[in-house]
Every structure is written in C-alpha cells, then in structure tokens.
Structure 1
C-alpha cells in the first residue's frame, strides 16, 4: 500500500534541532496556507526552564518569533494564540506585563488562555496558528 499523504512541510528555526529530534515533534508545519506552531516555552540553550518568569515569557516569544521568521513571517501573521499558564491566579499579571512587548498593534489575534498544573518545569507556553506572509 502506497502512502498518498503528502510529506509534512516542516519549518525549523536556526539551531535547537536536537531538542525537536529528542522529543520527536516538529517546531511548525505549513498546511493549506496556515502555519501551525508547536508550543514554545522559555527554555535556556540546554532546554531547561529560564528561572525568572518574565524572562521565561520573553524567551518563549523569542523562540516563537524565530520559527515565524524561519517561515518568512512575523507575529503580525498570527491569527490564533493559545497560552498555557501554571497557576494563572498568581502568574497572570506578571505574564501579561511582558506580552505587550511582543503582541504588536490592534487588531490582535484571537486568544485562549488555559490554566494547567504542569508544563514540564515551565510556567508559560505559547502555541499559535499563523497565515498570510508565510512563504
């Protein structure tokens, strides 16, 4: 039986390939005019969590922007955002102090914020769907 499914059009940012290989996932996949970006966390170069929450959020956005840039776009191309926060009652205000640094001008993308109990040692994760401008 022949596989008729097209291969995934995977987008890799510069570096960090070992992280994706080790954990067996793609950083982003293009499909039908959209870019589906895996959840990005604020990891240090060795993959461990950045200990400071604000810096962790900044690193997550920096990692996200590297993937968007590798796809030929930017955060302006993002149409849908999902954020995951450990203990949002105590972390939301701190996280949301950083978000405007990266969010850009209105109109803003849609967003869903989810409180979770565990993120592999991280406190914040962001995943997005982007369109247009992706080349």
Structure 2
C-alpha cells in the first residue's frame, strides 16, 4: 500500500474536527465532506440554497486543486442534501461546475447539517502522478 498523504488546502479554514481536507494514497484522492463555509471561516447557513451550493463547490474545487486534481478527475461524488426540494437547483449548479464530465454520484437526503447548512459534498478523484 502506498503511503497516505494528508492534504490541507490553502485558503480554507483548518478542519475543526479530527480529519484532513483530503488524503491521497497513490493516485486516489479522497476529499472530506465540504460544507458551504466561506474561506474566512464564516458561515452561510442563513444564505439561500444556491449561494450555499456555489460556496460548497468552490470549496471542493479548492481542495481538489490542493491535491493536484480537478472536477474532471473525480470518479465519485456524494452529496448530502437537506430538503429534496433543492435537488433540481443543485443538479443545475452541479452540472454547470462539472460540465460534460459525469462522475458516479449519490445524492442522499438528510434531515439536518451543522450551522443550518443545506448541503455537504465529498468526492474521490483519480490523479496520475508524474
């Protein structure tokens, strides 16, 4: 098994819990669940769903980039969504960020998330090492 690298994304708050933004083992990058927290650490739980979704995807992009990856390297994405009424709006925002690339994905309805957040996204990416 290759060594596991812990990845901290510059520009995002240090995780408050006992986890890393992401880990990398060989070519596999596993990104921890990203919430719509702003880079300065302030919360967006009081903001509209669309704003929360955009911030969450921006945070996901930042972590992927810190690992040398991008959305087009994602092989699997898991979305925890509060309120199935947001599914359509999320799908449109997600498709705009991922473009033509369609990794495997699960959208899991949940009853609540921390700080009034309406979504959380985790991902796995495959990145060839040079």
TM-score (norm 2): 0.86
From 71, 77, 80, the equivalent of 2:73 is: 77
Checking the alignment, whether the CA contact within 8 Å between 1:41 and 1:125 is kept in structure 2 is yes
Checking the alignment, whether the CA contact within 8 Å between 1:71 and 1:134 is kept in structure 2 is no
Q: Name which one, 1 or 2, has greater alpha-carbon Rg.
A: 1
Aligned pairs, how many? 127
CA RMSD of aligned residues (A): 2.0
> 5+ unaligned residues in a row in structure 1: which ranges?
none
Q: Which residue of 2 aligns with 1:64?
A: 60
TM-score (norm 1): 0.83
Checking the alignment, whether the CA contact within 8 Å between 1:56 and 1:124 is kept in structure 2 is yes
Q: Which residue of 2 aligns with 1:52?
A: 48
From 85, 92, 95, the equivalent of 1:97 is: 92
Q: Indicate yes or no: 2:125 matched with 1:130.
A: yes
Checking the alignment, whether the CA contact within 8 Å between 1:77 and 1:133 is kept in structure 2 is no
SS in 1 for 2:11: coil
Pick closer, same or farther for the CA change 1:63–1:134 going to 2, 3 Å.
farther
Question: Deviations 1:11-30 (Å, cap 9, x if unpaired)?
Answer: 11113343x1x322100000
SS in 2 for 1:99: helix
Checking the alignment, whether the CA contact within 8 Å between 1:34 and 1:131 is kept in structure 2 is yes
Checking the alignment, whether the CA contact within 8 Å between 2:2 and 2:26 is kept in structure 1 is no
**Cα distance in 1 between the residues matched to 2:29 and 2:62:** 13
